[in-house]
Amino acid sequence: MYEDKAPESAWLPRRRLRKLKPMWVARHSGHDDRETLGSLLHDGLVVRAAFDRLRAFDTGTGAERWSWQVPGRDVLAAMTDEVVDGVGLLVHWPDTREGRKQARVTALDMTSGKALWTVPRDLDELWHHSSGLRPGSVALSGEHALVATGEAVVGLDRRTGRQVWVMRHGPDHGVRIGAAGERFYVLTLRAGAATVRAVSVTDGRVLWKKPLAVDGPVAKAELVSAAPLLISVEGEGRRGTDRLLRLDSDGNTVTEFSSAGEGSRAVAHESWRITDRRRWVTWAGDTLMTFVNVPSSEYLFRLAGFSLSTGRHLWTWDGRGFDALTCHRGHVVALKHFEDSHEDTTVSWLCEVEVIDPADGRRVARRRLRVKEDEPYTIHLHGDRLLWVGKKSGPLEPPVKAYDWR
């Protein structure tokens, strides 16, 4: 996401009539594996997470390098969005009503798939309404592993799992955490109001605490990013409004992303189609990109670019059917996978990958992929290789497949 912008020659020629075939297709494990919960790209490996296991595949060959089984009868409940010094942090607990009280936190070596340490932690206050991963529950920064417990954030030694400090914030709900260098941010929600705290990673000391400056009650708030500090807000009632805010290092709102013209508003949460929640908002250079609604439609299919520094609306791109987004070489890469029906009732599946210049929303390049019915959870780009992580894994639905951009 933070790569320097590459020249357009990296993407040319703009069109190829021939569909690109997969360079490799990873094998299904043989286990019931119906839902992807998360994915990471690290050191030549693409890691796919399901509720009961993580599998890592070589980006060059598609061969499985390692598999980590969630211990006992636990299910995966949370994982970090990024790998720090080769380590990822996971939360797992028994899939029962009282399971959160018996939760465990595991640090996993993402190169070998070996657990470095596992510590018990009562996470009963860490309520979550669905069976998917709970976002913003764990984070890594430097030598510390951070875990939100519902009433506090606990700092653990990243190498041993030993507790170093505890920062309590009270019986709030909707807790989200995100790390940024020597500090991390805690977003909490209580009685229709959101509060942001900046906390020292070293000792858990609160550096500042401020209410989120929004009009009207807040139904939901998400910590989209810690660097830059981006928070999305879903308003409640007729006085509440949806918006995406950028805060400075002192907690002051410096930019608000809202109107995209013609009555369209920025929507920074829960796109109807993008499954990977980390990609609902993305940025490259000084351009932030998020979905905008269309007043006449209940669906989201328009992507808008805003200046990250001023909030000014720059462009709107009508994608009509996004399935996955990522940033690579300073551009936005958008994948669309759709059904093509014919008069004779036969159905075929089409897939287009479009590269967009974030500065002006102009399409730089386009490719078509040879695909089947399987749908993407997300995509990663590793050099010139596009890695498609599937929503499901089965005999006809590979967990991961790779295409070369050419």
Q: What are the pLDDT digits (tens) for 177-218?
A: 999 999 999 999 888 889 999 999 999 999 999 999 888 788
Average pLDDT over the chain reads 87
SS3 content of the chain, % helix, strand, coil (to 5): 0, 50, 45
Look at residue 289 and tell me if it is in a domain.
no
Amino acid letter, 220: K
Which residue range forms the structural domain that includes residue 169? 70-211
Look at residue 325 and tell me if it is in a domain.
no
Look at residue 259 and tell me if it is in a domain.
no
Spatial neighbors of 266 by CB under 8 A, at least 6 apart, are 242, 243, 244, 257, 258, 259, 260, 290, 291, 292, 304, 306
Res 270 pLDDT > 80: no
Q: What are the pLDDT digits (tens) for 316-374?
A: 887 667 888 999 999 999 998 888 766 666 678 888 999 999 999 999 999 999 998 88
Look at residue 244 and tell me if it is in a domain.
no
Res 113 pLDDT > 50: yes
Res 299 pLDDT > 60: no
Bridge partners of 156?
A: 145, 163
Look at residue 238 and tell me if it is in a domain.
no
Question: Where does the pLDDT of residue 301 fall: very low under 50, low under 70, confident under 90, or very high at 90 and above?
Answer: low
Look at residue 247 and tell me if it is in a domain.
no
What is the average pLDDT across 171-175?
76
What is the phi/psi pair of residue 184, to 5°? -135, 165
Query: Cα(283)–Cα(387) distance, rounded to whole angstroms?
Result: 20
Q: Which one has a higher pLDDT value, 33 or 95?
A: 95
Res 78 pLDDT > 50: yes
Look at residue 141 and tell me if it is in a domain.
yes
Question: CA dihedral defined by 122, 53, 48, 81, rounded to 10 degrees?
Answer: 10
pLDDT at 298: 57
Please tell me the total count of domains within the chain: 1
What is the average pLDDT across 71-90?
94
Tokens encoding 382: 């590793």
Q: Are 351 and 404 in contact (CB under 8 A)?
A: no
User: ∠ CA 60-64-69 to the nearest 5 degrees?
Assistant: 145
Res 268 pLDDT > 70: no
Cα 206 from chain centroid? 26
pLDDT at 273: 64
Look at residue 175 and tell me if it is in a domain.
yes
CATH number of the domain that residue 159 is part of? 2.40.128.630
pLDDT at 220: 86
